[in-house]
Amino acid sequence: MDRGLKIASLAYHDVTDDPSTSGLQRPGALPYKLGWRAFRAHLDALGAGPCTPTLVCDVPWTRAGRHLLLTFDDGGKSALSTGEELCRRGWRGHFFIVTSRIGTRTFLDASEIRHLRSCGHVVGSHSHTHPDIFRAQTPHRMAEEWRVSCAILGTLLGEQCVTASVPGGDISAAVLRSGANAGLRYLFTSEPRLGPGQADECWVLGRFTPKVGSSPHQVARLARFRGWTRARAVREIKVFARVALAPLYRWHVARQSRESAPSAAESGRRIARLGRARGPVPGAPRHAHRRLDPVARSVGLRPTRVPGVRARRVRRRVPAGAAREARATAPLRIAASGLADLEHGAAVRPCRRLHR
């Protein structure tokens, strides 16, 4: 890698005038959901800069130069319109998908993800279940998050998934190693850094995350490779506070990550859908259809029982820590149980049903 190589990456999320229609429905997600007017103003400011947005796979890593990358996390419904807006300007972006949410109400389904890829955008992983504090997970859990998510996207798109972004933005050396060990070639973080790093064979790229209050002027400065030192200093202060006040930070994240309750109208539609789909799935154990991870239906996996679903028995027979790990990794084991079927040509079917 040439030390003169500078990469300015911006990490957007949902772009929508109605936050309830796209992406994660939780208080912590609202500051990252830009309206269309603000987003187009950002794009106009970027277009006036010295660099045109490019793709990470087109960066010449052995030569000095400056490059601008646009990324979009979560895989909410608005990603489709966002991708079309980029295409109208002749640009391409990177869209990172939370694969356990594929096909749910506010997220892309399988056909929409394929359409994004067919337009020339990069589609990568944003983990399988989007753990709130990724660096707090065990090494096994991190590995499973990447493995399952990349396997699902690889089967859906017919190509290996080698690009990802860390959910939540909390990183550590173990997080970077987990991405490298999973076979990722490019891993995006939320650390505002211009110079890329490496973890084994994986390139690690920092990003700045624009929020609702971010002005076009600020974005334009970042696209001109100015203001990154200050942004990094602010980020390091936040990271220091999170580590020093770890219990308070965990409480804050748990509070901000609670899913918002749906409206009365949406609740009625959800009940109706569940009522129509209440019957057992052919070939599945009784009531197994009520315990499926969303991706099991979104990509057509065969329903299976969740290991350790009887939480009371688990708590009596194993230590509390092991029981928590079993419950935390259950969605991963469900999705993994059908990956072999997918690899042998199982059909991918988008799913609109929501889970209780």
Residues 104-125 pLDDT 10s: 999 999 999 999 999 999 999 9
Per-residue pLDDT reduced to its tens digit, 226-247: 999 999 999 999 989 988 998 9
pLDDT at 282: 43
Q: What is the rounded CA–CA span in Å between residue 8 and residue 349? A: 37
Within a domain: residue 298?
A: no
Within a domain: residue 140?
A: yes
Under DSSP, is residue 41 helix (H, G, I), strand (E, B) or coil?
A: helix
Q: What is the rounded CA–CA span in Å between residue 205 and residue 54? A: 14
Instruction: Spell out the alpha helix ranges (H) of the chain.
Output: 36-47, 79-88, 110-118, 139-157, 173-181, 216-223, 228-244, 246-256, 264-276, 294-298, 311-317, 320-336, 339-343
Distance of CA 46 to the CA centre of its chain: 24
Q: Which residue range(s) make up the domain with 111?
A: 5-256
Within a domain: residue 281?
A: no
Within a domain: residue 226?
A: yes
CATH code of the domain containing 86: 3.20.20.370
Within a domain: residue 265?
A: no
Per-residue pLDDT reduced to its tens digit, 5-32: 999 999 999 999 999 999 999 999 999 9
DSSP 128: S
Per-residue pLDDT reduced to its tens digit, 39-95: 999 999 999 999 999 999 999 998 999 999 999 999 999 999 999 999 999 999 999
Q: What is the rounded CA–CA span in Å between residue 24 and residue 15? A: 12
CB 13 within 8 A of CB 73: yes
CB 91 within 8 A of CB 51: no
CB 316 within 8 A of CB 67: no
Q: What is the rounded CA–CA span in Å between residue 53 and residue 327? A: 41
Within a domain: residue 269?
A: no
Within a domain: residue 347?
A: no
Domain count, the chain: 1
Within a domain: residue 287?
A: no
